[in-house]
Copies of this chain bind each other. A is one copy, B any other.
Amino acid sequence: MSEPAGILAIDAMGSDLGPSEVVHGLALALKKKPALDGILLVGQEPLLLSLLEAEKVKDNGRVRIVHASEVIDMDDRPLQAIKQKKDASMLRAIDLVKTGQAKGVLSCGNTGSLMAAGTLRLRPIEGFERPALAAIVPTENGFFILLDVGANPNTTPKQMVHNALLGKYYAQAVLGIEDPAIGLLTIGTEEGKGNELSNKSHEYLKAARGHINYHGLIEGFHVFDRTVDVVICDGFVGNILLKTCESLLINVKHYLTHQLKKNWMRRMGALLCLRAFREMKQQFNPDRYGGVPLLGLQGTIIKAHGSSNATAIQNAIDVGYNMIREHKTSALQDAVAKVNAGIEEL
């Protein structure tokens, strides 16, 4: 095999559904986009070769395999795994970015390990302190961006402003929103009603208004009504919120499915409405927008859900390529330098 020179390194091994699902997703992406090129598929070579063969994908330059003998499992302790599994597919994939052989990584693996290894090996963009995970959350008529959803559970007010900048650039670059409105999630729209972190962050965010379109404080009631394009919060709140909303949607779906099967009349009615239910499922599907990027690093890292199916993988590959194309390190570096200077003056 020649020296790999790729664009997106895909960790094929860490998924809950196994490497076959990842490879199937890749095959779908390749079929859909004939121009897609520069994939480095990282994992156990013999296994990946046979999976690619089964999908009728050839190792022909569009896709090359990079061998890695180990796998970081979901229940591995993140930092321990990074230390002990030196030849893990996830770490090899990140190293391909570090050494300039790829520009981004996509992984469904252990979130903690991905964030820790990504942060340690790729380092934050100058001026930023910590990366942030940004989720795209679907709503009835679009979506909003929520960050941080778990990279940094002990966010500081300064890091909250950094997250606002990261959210702004992400919304612009990948979603095409020109001047995204940014809101700080708290428990009431009166100033001073939140906790210490949100009150201080609000002060800093107001001071950064020359650099971001800061709408102000928003409460939970307004998260889904698209008052703002980007909702920022600390990684503890964001992670709980995202997972709880997913859990609520599953709960509602179970209940409704059960109710609709209760008698023949309802079953018939449900049949007539089938397309409406399918559209709803599709509309609120958290996998619709593929992976969740870890923003603020010198290189693109996309975390896909551990149980991503092939379609989700396919979408995540899309997101990965968009992000790599639009990665604006120097613009972010300029903006954060100004924002940091503004905070110093407060």
Contacts and interface: CB of A to CB of B under 8 A. Distances in A.
Interface stretch (A60-68, A258-266, A320-328, A335-343): A258-266
Interface string A275-301: 110011001100000000000000000
A235 interface: yes
Given A187-B236, A244-B245, A248-B249, A193 B139 contact: no
What is the total number of copies of this protein in its complex? 2
Interface stretch (A9-17, A216-224, A308-316): A216-224
| A150, A236, A255 — most chain B CB neighbours (10 Å) | A236
Interface in A233-265: 233-237, 239-252, 254-256, 258-260, 262, 265
A13 to B, nearest CB: 21
Contacts of A237: 236-237, 240
A252 B140 contact: yes
A198 B271 CA distance: 46
Interface footprint category on A: 35 or more
| A193, A233, A250 — most chain B CB neighbours (10 Å) | A193
A18 interface: no
Contacts of A193: 112, 153
Contacts of A235: 187
A42 B77 CA distance: 58
14 contacts: A112-B193, A185-B240, A220-B239, A220-B245, A221-B244, A221-B247, A223-B248, A224-B248, A252-B252, A255-B284, A260-B273, A266-B273, A268-B269, A273-B273
Given A140-B258, A248-B249, 19 more contacts: A77-B190, A140-B254, A153-B187, A187-B240, A195-B236, A219-B239, A220-B239, A224-B248, A224-B251, A225-B251, A233-B240, A245-B248, A248-B248, A252-B252, A252-B284, A255-B283, A259-B276, A269-B269, A270-B273
Interface of A: 77, 112, 139-141, 150, 153-154, 185-188, 190, 193-196, 198, 219-225, 233-237, 239-252, 254-256, 258-260, 262, 265-266, 268-273, 275-276, 279-280, 283-284
